[in-house]
Structure 1
Amino acid sequence: MEDIARLAGVSKSAVSLALNGKPGVSSETRDTILRIANENGYAIKSKPIADDKFKSITFLVFTNSGIVLEQYDHQPFFRELIQYIEERCRNFGYSLLFKSIDVKHINSDLQQLLEVTGSEGIILLGTNLHESHIFQVHQLVRMPLVVLDTYIETLPLPFVQINNTMGADQAAQHLYQLGHTTIGYIESSTRVANFEERKSGFHRSWNKLGLSIAPQHTLSVIPTILSSQESLKAQLQALINSGEPLPTAFFCECDYIAISAIKTLNELGFQIPQDITVVGFDNIAEASIVTPELTTVHVEKKQMAYQAVDLILQEIDNTDQAKTKIKIDTSFIERRSSILLNTRTKAKIGGSSQFIK
């Protein structure tokens, strides 16, 4: 390992992370380390499969520049999922290996993974994957496979997914019960299945209430930034400059977007929730420490993780069994970023104030 570190110009710990398939190094660095190891005849010692303490499951992630970043293990939602997956694996005597692949190089990277992995099964993070990607993995790996955080009805694979439609309905009902009828929708500029389900579910529920969202009140932002965003500020400023009142509330497709929206609105002089209510989706850990604490849809990340591990263990025991597709219900967490509309005294529009009847 010291020799490989010297040849690659990296630390010994980086070599360890790369060879053990753990997050913490970039895909380029990982590829360089694996190439140098291969060129110099380095081989990982095979571990006896019969020895229970060496049993492992691979957590496979396809990274891109959209929603699942290269340092995905630092993103709050995925960090919590990984924590619970590792916990459940340990309960059954399995270790968890981490493998990340660039979605642009799916065939070559996946083939390389199959040559070195010694795990009994794969949990595939499907958040950012299209049906064609998942089908490719299914055709190539030829080992027990469970897909987490997306749902394709027509593929013969086990899936564990969020009930996004339920969560969107819970958010819509909450806003309506608080008296909000003119609301805005802040969506992700990167579209994945979860966001599409949340959007269609929210609009369906809102329409059932006899309401609609004005086209100019649908805004779009990067979904992986927790700080304020200039692009969102520009969109909000355009609404202010139009002279019409801003929506009294915004529903955001994920907590990242909601937290970013709160910070951006604050910079424009709005107070949350006194001026504008903000509701998110996911209930990441940061939702309870942002100011004000975020009202959001709670996703049962622990249950999702446990179900994924349980399904992969069932697949390892019997790959011929009928496949199971699971949708896990959400719950709603009301915190301080939402408020009953008729308790407000005023809302700031630009630099002035407008009383709300």
Structure 2
Amino acid sequence: MKKPVTLIDIAKACNTSNVTVSKALADKSGVSDELRAKIKQVAEEMGYVPSKTVTSRKKSNIGVLIPEKYVGLSGSFYWTLYNSLVQRLKRENLYCVIENLEYKDEQNLVLPNIVTDRKISALISLGEISHVYAQRLSENVEHLILLDYYVPGLKVDSIVTNGYNGGYKLANYLISLGHRRIGFIGSKTATSSIFDRYMGYLKALIEHDLEIRDDWIVEDRDKYSDPIELVFPKDMPTAFVCNCDEAAFQAIKALREHGYAVPDDVSVVGYDNYLISEVSDPTITTISIDAEYMAELTVNTLIQRLNDPSTVYRMRTIEGDLVIKNSVLPLNR
């Protein structure tokens, strides 16, 4: 049986994107008359048979793509966010189809099955992927939303937390309690969210004219985002701002193995306020992110995009709140 011709097949033949082909065949704007005519001609010559178009949003399938590096822990912030997404989509009669993105497929720019099989009306990319892969997705998905990260210059909707302000709040909190030697735990170039939190941390230190030392920046992951052993400086700071609660949890464990007590010897703060910050001993002072609201904003953005594809692309930012727990020792008592 001959394999049916897909939009991707036509796109390759015309040296253009899947989205452009879709717009051309549907007589939507954004495609030149010359290219539209070429695409229709090639589609006819290849024997393309259009699938039944979705006429009701109630019948739409929404894909959620999560890189495998973010799904290792069942109680992680990303699973919390995913569960909130599922519930919110369900209330809107939208069906959720999840797929994990393997690292090798991301590196080789292999599209996920939910995209190549044309089973979804839109795709939510949850958790940062390479900018090159995000670009490839945008070329092959008509409606793409980036959740918890952004790609500068890419014309898609994105929903992010204000990591810059969060990192600033955490460092400022430590400073308000008398800490003057403050380090950062996180591979700052690994993701846009870690970099934003690092920059907020830097701003607080600069505003208070505090020392910024390279040896107080501790890497926590490799290029594959797998965790690595934390290497602490010989001359230790009194506190660390960590890029997330998982990093803070691992830092507390590693500090203990090196003979340091938290918070008596070294204070530690995290980011996200998910389950691990509560089960940690001590519990971790952190920035709380409302996953339900984040999911609601994502789905509302998605519905707006489905109803009116001409809507201007936007990056929507969510603020986080400082949640004080037991991992910080005041030095100014």
Where do residues 57-68 of structure 1 align in structure 2 (5 Å cutoff)? Answer: 57-63=62-68, 68=69
Aligned partner of 1:58: which letter?
A: G
2:174 aligned counterpart, secondary structure:
helix
| Matched residue count | 280
1:171 touches 1:251 (CA, 8 Å); kept in 2? yes
**Residues 144, 87 of structure 1: CA spacing in aligned structure 2 closer, same or farther, 3 A cutoff?**
same
CA distance, structure 1, for counterparts of residue 293 and residue 314 of structure 2: 15
Shift of 1:261: 0.8
Matched, 1:255 2:256: no
Matched, 1:323 2:310: no
Where do residues 82-97 of structure 1 align in structure 2 (5 Å cutoff)? Answer: 82-97=82-97
CA distance, structure 2, for counterparts of residue 126 and residue 79 of structure 1: 11
1:47 touches 1:54 (CA, 8 Å); kept in 2? no
1:72 touches 1:78 (CA, 8 Å); kept in 2? no
Match of 1:136 in 2: 136
Q: Alpha-carbon deviations, 1:100-129, whole Å to 9, x = none?
A: 233543577427433424222111125233
1:281 aligned counterpart, secondary structure:
coil
1:184 aligned counterpart, secondary structure:
strand
1:203 touches 1:212 (CA, 8 Å); kept in 2? no
**Residues 128, 190 of structure 1: CA spacing in aligned structure 2 closer, same or farther, 3 A cutoff?**
farther
Shift of 1:213: 2.4
CA distance, structure 1, for counterparts of residue 109 and residue 221 of structure 2: 29
CA distance, structure 2, for counterparts of residue 327 and residue 84 of structure 1: 17
Match of 1:76 in 2: 76
2:169 aligned counterpart, secondary structure:
helix
**Residues 72, 307 of structure 1: CA spacing in aligned structure 2 closer, same or farther, 3 A cutoff?**
farther
Aligned partner of 2:122: which letter?
A: G
**Residues 280, 79 of structure 1: CA spacing in aligned structure 2 closer, same or farther, 3 A cutoff?**
same
Match of 2:38 in 1: none
2:244 touches 2:272 (CA, 8 Å); kept in 1? yes
1:145 touches 1:315 (CA, 8 Å); kept in 2? no
Structure 1 stretches of 4+ moved >6 Å:
223-226
Greater Cα offset, 195-204 or 266-275: 266-275
CA distance, structure 1, for counterparts of residue 193 and residue 258 of structure 2: 30
1:122 touches 1:312 (CA, 8 Å); kept in 2? no
Match of 2:111 in 1: 110
2:101 touches 2:112 (CA, 8 Å); kept in 1? no
Match of 2:31 in 1: none
2:82 aligned counterpart, secondary structure:
helix
Question: For 2:293, which of 296, 303, 308 is the aligned residue?
Answer: 303
Question: For 2:281, which of 286, 291, 296 is the aligned residue?
Answer: 291
Aligned partner of 1:220: which letter?
A: E
Match of 2:46 in 1: none
2:63 touches 2:98 (CA, 8 Å); kept in 1? yes
CA distance, structure 2, for counterparts of residue 108 and residue 208 of structure 1: 42
Matched, 1:55 2:87: no
Aligned partner of 1:319: which letter?
A: P
CA distance, structure 2, for counterparts of residue 295 and residue 185 of structure 1: 15
CA distance, structure 1, for counterparts of residue 327 and residue 53 of structure 2: 54
Match of 1:174 in 2: 173
Shift of 1:188: 2.8
Aligned partner of 2:84: which letter?
A: Y
CA distance, structure 2, for counterparts of residue 311 and residue 189 of structure 1: 29
**Residues 135, 126 of structure 1: CA spacing in aligned structure 2 closer, same or farther, 3 A cutoff?**
farther
1:327 aligned counterpart, secondary structure:
strand
Match of 2:217 in 1: 218
2:109 touches 2:133 (CA, 8 Å); kept in 1? no
**Residues 312, 272 of structure 1: CA spacing in aligned structure 2 closer, same or farther, 3 A cutoff?**
same
2:137 aligned counterpart, secondary structure:
helix
**Residues 172, 96 of structure 1: CA spacing in aligned structure 2 closer, same or farther, 3 A cutoff?**
same
CA distance, structure 1, for counterparts of residue 130 and residue 297 of structure 2: 20
Aligned partner of 2:105: which letter?
A: H
Output the aligned Cα RMSD.
2.6
2:63 touches 2:114 (CA, 8 Å); kept in 1? no
User: Which segments of 5 or more consecutive residues in structure 1 lack a partner in the other structure?
Assistant: 1-45, 344-357
Aligned partner of 1:118: which letter?
A: K
Q: Alpha-carbon deviations, 1:75-108, whole Å to 9, x = none?
A: 6011111011001001111121012233543577
Shift of 1:183: 1.7
CA distance, structure 2, for counterparts of residue 114 and residue 250 of structure 1: 41
1:190 touches 1:222 (CA, 8 Å); kept in 2? no
**Residues 225, 108 of structure 1: CA spacing in aligned structure 2 closer, same or farther, 3 A cutoff?**
closer
Aligned partner of 2:74: which letter?
A: H
2:167 touches 2:241 (CA, 8 Å); kept in 1? no
CA distance, structure 1, for counterparts of residue 204 and residue 114 of structure 2: 44
2:99 touches 2:112 (CA, 8 Å); kept in 1? no
1:180 aligned counterpart, secondary structure:
coil
1:187 touches 1:220 (CA, 8 Å); kept in 2? yes
1:189 touches 1:222 (CA, 8 Å); kept in 2? no
Q: Alpha-carbon deviations, 1:224-266, whole Å to 9, x = none?
A: 789xx7x32xx33x61xxxx4x211111111111101111112
